[in-house]
Structure 1
């Protein structure tokens, strides 16, 4: 099953504890075993663009639509057999300690 792993900052976190592994080791473990498929850091929220369609009109605005999106710093797409496996992999990412990780199961299109 595929999971979108969102990597978020936590503005309320005062002093993060030491991470379980350095990011380079996490990348090697996740991508080296094929459990991570793709991922990247994101540019700052100020560089984002929001696109909506309302009443047949395309509305484009600068920045994220919701304030929460300002906290997203990156993403990875995981390929794991179970949610437990995805949680274990996500829990080792340094931002699980220094920020927040969200796992969203993919809902494949039936085309």
Structure 2
């Protein structure tokens, strides 16, 4: 089995705006701070679903107390080749007319598997 298929790239808030190169079959996990108990959550605002697929989302609270913030982890898999922008918005789902509180994005260049 090709070891590239097991490769996961971890991206953080500091990676905002970067260009990332991947091979088809590799994955990325985006780790951003958040607090869904406030109604705010990270949502996908832009990506090409022919190239990238959101596989899983998790929230890891920073403490055991109800309402505490923590880390939102979004796991994506590169399912095709090409270029796509992955843009995430931190907003309340019902406030679609308001600007997002925060925006995070990267440009992904995905190559065919070797």
TM-score interval for Structure 1 and Structure 2 normalised by the shorter chain: 0.3 to 0.5
Whose helix proportion is higher, 1 or 2?
A: 1
Structure whose alpha-carbon radius of gyration is higher = 1
Whose strand proportion is higher, 1 or 2?
A: 2
**Structure with the greater relative contact order (CA < 8 A, sep ≥ 6): 1 or 2?**
1
TM-score normalized by structure 2? 0.34
